[in-house]
Structure 1
């Protein structure tokens, strides 16, 4: 009966561990005070249950005493003494299993990339981002007249942003062929297949000021750019900006963050 109870308790602990892990991984950012208190209570309950499992029961202790007494009584055969096993040995594997369950529960829950993106963007819902040097390998409009190459390292972060943000990409180009080349590169990279970004949200202009004008009209929560002049111009109009630069530049304003790449800012590399 005691063995069955321990098995049931172990099963219960495992189920609670799985449910709490799911709760943390799916809604880490949405836990309120009551939810955190409930989780803490469950953690304490699991811990004390484990402590109880580690302690031999009263009946086991009595049984052990009887076994010791019988082994010291004259007339008991050597064969009978050989099969006497201390109850502590029986509980060793159970203690180990309980310890494993508790250790598994108390392991830190690593946030997903989606959770990190939402946290870093402070729950912003609209993002504008230039293409050159941020999404594309190329660094100038002249290069786009020859080719357009999407950075493979930025794709995962970009797709996470499109899941919960209204994302607009923009760039200065010198001709219509460059536009087509950029759109084809984005499509080949699978950026339009997630449903969060459509071709109509990829904007092109003929001047840097044109890009600045796009951003001010859209009024995003975040703008990502690699041009320090654009960053400086928009600092007083946009809530947050990310300045992408290979070397850490002087911070233009308190609401401007700096990183060597978009993916680096979100810690995905």
Structure 2
């Protein structure tokens, strides 16, 4: 009986090892033959760790029932055969159940971990630490300077990613305005949503100009790692000078340069809409 149980454990470990190998091969396109001795040791340790975890997570099956002693000198051959068949069926069902539980533990172990928004921001920005960004149509609901004369509203959908960018990057917001009152409306809107208190942005880094060329000049002087804009002309003009650019547009035009990326919105670029789905 002990030998049979030992054999079942050995077979289960082999199956578990094969299943872990399959999972690893899906994650890493490299064969185990190419791994060094240290990597092989790590892999073996992982298999053992998962197996031990599975053993700890197993629900106790309870002790085996003691069969009452039979009275009489002997039992019939058919009764012995029936009990043997029942024992084999029980062993097979238990082995199948154990195998299923082991696979479940391995699947949970290899469950992909969802990155935080901060990690996504750092990855998408390629570790860039200085960012310049247009306000109209990107941060604000308004898309023209004329609309700003009536009021300014920060897009609720962009707030989360904007706060993360201000925590990680040196961010400058800028745009063209027609009068000083428009600039005050923009600053008030940003202050109301907590950009100047929750994030790392200060009012001095919100810049205004009276022309589109003025915004382009700001970007050239600041020399950011990234510039974000909705104006294709400015995107094209700055492509030679800025390391990366993000062109915000509902359409998906041809990329004017390899360092220019396109997205429908700033939040879409960082996958904020996908995370909230």
Distance apart, 1:258 and its partner CA: 0.4
Q: Give the aligned partner of residue 213 of structure 2.
A: 209
Which residue is equivalent to 2:17?
Answer: none
**In structure 2, how many angstroms separate the alpha carbons of the residues matched to 1:232 and 1:198?**
29
CA distance in structure 2 between the aligned counterparts of 1:190 and 1:230, rounded to whole angstroms:
29
The 1:240–1:131 alpha-carbon spacing in structure 2 relative to 1, beyond 3 Å, is same
Which deviations, in whole Å up to 9, do the C-alpha atoms of 1:116-164 show, x marking residues without a partner?
Answer: 1111100100000000000001111111111111100000010111111
Deviation string for 1:170-194 (max 9, x for gaps)? 0110110000000000111111112
* 1:74 aligned onto 2:77: no
Unaligned runs of 5+ in 2: 1-38, 73-86
TM-score, structure 1 length as denominator? 0.70
1:29 — aligned with what? none
Q: Distance in 1 between matches of 2:115 and 2:257?
A: 29
- Work out the CA distance in 1 between the residues paired with 2:148 and 2:211: 15
Task: Give the counterpart of 2:49 among 32, 46, 50.
Answer: 46
**What is the alpha-carbon distance in structure 2 between the residues aligned to residue 181 and residue 111 of structure 1?**
36
Q: What are the equivalent positions in structure 2 for 1:125-164 lying under 5 Å apart? A: 125-164=129-168
Q: Give the aligned CA root-mean-square deviation in angstroms.
A: 3.4
* Secondary structure in 2 matching 1:181: helix
CA distance in 2 between partners of 1:169 and 1:135 (Å): 9
| Contact 1:133/1:226 (8 A) holds in 2 | yes
Is 1:119 equivalent to 2:116 in the alignment?
Answer: no
Over residues 198-226 of structure 1, what are the superposed CA-to-partner deviations in whole Å (9 max), with x where a residue is unaligned?
Answer: 11110011111110010011110000000
Gaps in structure 1 of 5+ consecutive residues: 1-35, 76-85
| Alpha-carbon distance, 1:247 to partner | 1.1
For residue 45 of structure 1, report the CA deviation from its aligned partner. Answer: 2.7
Please report how far the alpha carbon of residue 50 of structure 1 lies from its aligned counterpart in structure 2 after TM superposition: 4.7
Equivalence for 2:272: 268
Inter-partner Cα distance in structure 2 for 1:266 and 1:227: 20
Residues 1:245 and 2:249 aligned together: yes
Structure 1 distance, partners of 2:145, 2:266, is: 20
- Are the equivalent residues in 2 in contact too, given 1:244–1:262 (CA < 8 A)? yes
Shift of 1:49: 1.8
Question: Structure 1 residues 213 and 41 mapped into 2: Cα distance closer, same or farther (>3 Å)?
Answer: farther
Does residue 180 (structure 1) correspond to residue 177 (structure 2)? The answer is no
- The size of the alignment, in residue pairs, is 215
**Matched position secondary structure for 2:48:** helix
Contact 1:127 1:165 in 2 (8 A): yes
Cα distance in structure 1, aligned partners of 2:144 and 2:230: 11
Name the SS of the counterpart of 2:195 in structure 1: coil
Q: Note closer, same or farther for the CA distance 1:160–1:234 as it changes in structure 2 (3 Å cut).
A: same
CA contact (8 A) 2:164 2:199 kept: no
- Which aligned segments of 4 or more residues in structure 1 are displaced greater than 4 angstroms? 36-42, 50-55, 86-103
CA 1:40–1:192 in structure 2 vs 1: closer, same or farther (change >3 Å)? farther
